[in-house]
Every structure is written in structure tokens, then in C-alpha cells.
Structure 1
């Protein structure tokens, strides 16, 4: 069955900017493949195989997929144009491999194409800070000036206190902010002009660790979004840092006494004892 695929199998890459919520996955076939008996299937082929959209004998439509149901479409008359490209709205950028397959009336594969989605500028960004620092910034900048009607939401999905900060109607909405973050968070007061949506978190602690997400809405439609992972480290053990000068002196005295000590042995053993 798969022998016929070898001459018609294709892999292409499609780029999409970070924060975009829609994309078109291109797929056009030659006229010789256009027949009323063909079936065309678009599938998500990452870690699991899921059918997203199907065209069969002139009828087409999205499947009842829990994520993409209602968010996929093809052109109205693909059998005439040969254009079976799939438009996806409300895109999940964590999904990256899609497959489109054309079958004949016997279920034999006539053509198959794999589309790999590449996210340009996607910042799987991690911010690290040591506990005890006065503040940390979770960065997110977009092109300004920004539409006055936007709503900006910073959330902490990894926490029970998910609502970190909301900017709406030109001001911070304190009523939508969890009390854990009140008086601990700041944003640029002139963000509509600057486009700087970064979040400043004061007195970061270990409980603040995890994933943060900033989502920009226009009405109920998502315009852009970004995720930042915050890592708040405990400071180095003071007993260890206090011993560093003595460790250096010990190595110096050892070297002057011509002892053959393996490189780093004294430091490594001290680390293991901490």
C-alpha cells in the first residue's frame, strides 16, 4: 500500500511568528489526482495521531476534535482548484507536525505531504533569579503603539493563584488580581505607547517558581501571547561560601609542600560534605 507513496511523498516547513493564532498549511495536487472518488485527510501527527479534517466525495468538514473542532477549514471547491490547504485558527504552537494524505476509492495512497510548523521568534524563555533579590522582570515586548481596547492578562498556570495581573480599559484591574500578588507586581504605566508588557515581580520566592503566561486580547480574540518560566534559586549555603578562602589557602599550602594531590580533589570532597 505504501509503495506508491515514495514518488509523491513530500516534507515542507512552514514558519509562523510567535504569538500568531492562525496559519495556512499548504497542499495543492495536480489535476490528474482530482477525482470525485478521492478522500483527503488532514491529521495531527505529533506524539499522537489525530484526524482534524476530512474531504470525501465532495463533502468536507472538521472532525469533532476537542482542541481543533471548529477551528479548521479548507477552500469551498477544492476538487476544482486542487487546493486542499488547511487553514487553522486558534493555533496551538506546541503542535508542529501535520500530515495530509490523498486516497483513491480503494484506500490506496495517491499523494502524501508532511508539514512541519516552525515558530519564528518563539522564546521558550527562562528567567533565573536568586531568592532575596528585590525584584525580577518577566519580559514581553510587542510593537507599539498598542490598541487602547486590548486586554492584557498575566497568569501563573502552575499555581493555585493563577490571576497575577490584568490590564484593561487603560488601567490595572486590581479586582481581578489575586491577593498574593497585590503590591508585588508592576507593569509599565505607559504600555499602550511603549508596547512593553513585561511584568515586574517584587521579592520573588521559591513559591513563585513555574510557568507564567501573558495573553493579549482584542475583545475575546487572542492576538498574541508569550510564556516565561521563572526559576527562583536558593542562595548558596553560607557555610560553604565561608569556607572558600580556607579552601584556597589549604591548596596553596599543599602545593608549596610538594604534595601530589589530584586536581580539584580537595574542593570536590568539601562540596560533597556540604
Structure 2
């Protein structure tokens, strides 16, 4: 507030780096010594998202832009966070700090190596899925922890491919065929929306021991998937509780995700007509 507000009569409030969480009605009240309200004013603050990015589920990467015109010295900390306060990417002391990342984002983010010189703080997020739809914040702090720059970007991910089947059908196919070659040292993993392992392929063969018990003996993939590039999953005897988003990830030995796709499965329930004899 104005340091000389009693003299200037200016009771305005400056709020630094407003976010959508700051939106709402603010009240300014002036009291006398007895506690009587002498004056009151209300201001409604509405905070708009600075930028919105929309992308298809399963694309190789998406760029969350954040550029500045201000000069940045080497003694700054750059943090990307999502709206659940998870650390998406951290840069400090001249390099990335992957140990501070939330594991959900580990190996999937990248920033400009010369970000201080180029003043480009944009974040590249690899293999965005429906679960990445979020409001992301880019914050730059000085050594004291004061925020120098704050920018927010809304990421919207379009709905994944939809597959519909009747409960009780013999099987349903969650299809995915790729065009790029796969070497033998990859891991292919299908997971459901509850993060249960549906099917795992590694070292040239299926790994049924890693499957969640609810899917054991109910899944199948192409035996020659490395050659055919067909990563589709056949799910036998689909039931209503199987519905949800299934995610297939292809990663290398180091755990870095190379490809990803999501398929939304909708299983319709069956209705049975029962006829009871009348005695």
C-alpha cells in the first residue's frame, strides 16, 4: 500500500503476481479507534488465464510457452508447477534438478539449455495424456525467494480414442499400431485408469507375473509386436468395472518414455429379462 496513504488518501492495494486462486471479492474497511467503520469499499477481482494450449492425446510433445524480456542472472530458480503443487520441472544453479521433480513428470520434461541467455523459459512436455490436463505455473525466484516472474498456462488435452463394447462380449481390442521401428530392448506396458498393470511386455516376451490379478489370463498382445509394430491389446471378457482410460507406454531400459497412447473403454451393462412362473 502507499506508505503515505494518510496524506494521499490512496488506500489502494497492489497484489503481486495474481493467480486464478486470488479471484474473488476484496473488502477495504477503515475503522476509528472505537472500532466503528468509517468507510468501506469492495472490489471484485477476476483473474484470466494468460494462455491456453490445446493438444491431441498421444502426440509426441507439447510446448507450454513462457518467455520474458527481462534479463536473468545465473542466480535464479525457475520452477514449473501444476495446480496440485507438484513440481513439474526445476532449474537452478545453471542446470536442471531432476531429483526435485514429481515422479509423474520425471523423464518427460525439457527446457532450453540456454534459457537465461535466450530468455525462453518454455517447457516441453513429452507424450501428454488426458491426465496431464492441468493449469501450469512458471515461476522465477531470486536468491531471497522473491518471485520475479509468474506466468500460468492452461493445458487442455482432447479426449482419447473411444472404444465401446457390451459387457459379456468375448473380447475387445484396444488398438495401437505405430510406424517407427522398435528395438528389442524396450518395455511395453498397458495400465488402466487406476494405475493397475494390465499387460507387460519386456525382454522379447510377456511378463504375466507383473500383471494385476484382475487382468491375469484375460489379456493378449501380438507375439511379434517388435516386427509388426502392432501394440494393440486384446482384453477378454470385458466387464463394467473395466471401463476407463487405458494407457500404453513404450520405454527404454533407462525408463525414458518413447511413445504413449491412451484409449477410453466404455463397457455397457447387459439387462436380462427374467420370467417367473405364476402358481
What interval of TM-score do these two structures reach, taking the shorter chain for normalisation? Answer: 0.5 to 0.7
Report what 1:142 is aligned to.
178
Report what 2:261 is aligned to.
226
Report what 2:203 is aligned to.
169
Shift, 1:200, TM fit: 0.9
CA contact (8 A) 1:2 1:109 kept: no
Please give the TM-score of this superposition, normalised by the length of structure 1. 0.59
Residue 158 (structure 1) aligned to one of 194, 197, 203: 194
Residue 193 (structure 1) aligned to one of 215, 223, 227: 227
Deviations 1:88-128 (A, max 9, x none): 67977524332335679999987653333354xx5534432
Shift, 1:66, TM fit: 3.9
Shift, 1:209, TM fit: 3.8
1:27 maps onto 2:66 in alignment: yes
3-state SS of 2:132 partner: coil
Flag the structure with higher helix content.
1
CA contact (8 A) 2:81 2:89 kept: no
Deviates more, 1:213-222 or 1:36-45: 36-45
Shift, 1:147, TM fit: 2.5
Could you tell me which runs of 5 or more consecutive residues in structure 2 were left unpaired when the two chains were aligned.
1-13, 19-47
Residue-pair matches, total: 229
Shift, 1:136, TM fit: 0.9
1:85 maps onto 2:119 in alignment: no
Shift, 1:174, TM fit: 3.8
3-state SS of 1:127 partner: strand
**Correspondences of 1:1-274 after superposition (within 5 Å):** 1-2=14-15, 11-14=50-53, 18-19=57-58, 25-30=64-69, 33-34=70-71, 41-46=78-83, 48-49=84-85, 62=97, 64=100, 66-67=102-103, 78-86=115-123, 94-101=132-139, 112-119=150-157, 123-156=159-192, 158=194, 162-177=196-211, 180-219=214-253, 220-238=255-273
Distance in 2 separating the partners of 1:52 and 1:174: 32
Distance in 1 separating the partners of 2:197 and 2:142: 51
Deviates more, 1:128-137 or 1:138-147: 138-147
Q: Which has the larger radius of gyration?
A: 1
Please give the TM-score of this superposition, normalised by the length of structure 2. 0.58
CA contact (8 A) 1:22 1:88 kept: yes
Distance in 2 separating the partners of 1:21 and 1:43: 20
Deviations 1:228-248 (A, max 9, x none): 3433332233259xxxxxxxx
Distance in 2 separating the partners of 1:178 and 1:10: 40
Classify 1:144/1:238 alpha carbon distance in 2 versus 1 (closer, same or farther; 3 Å). farther
Distance in 2 separating the partners of 1:79 and 1:210: 42
Instruction: Say what the alpha-carbon RMSD is for the aligned residues.
Output: 4.4
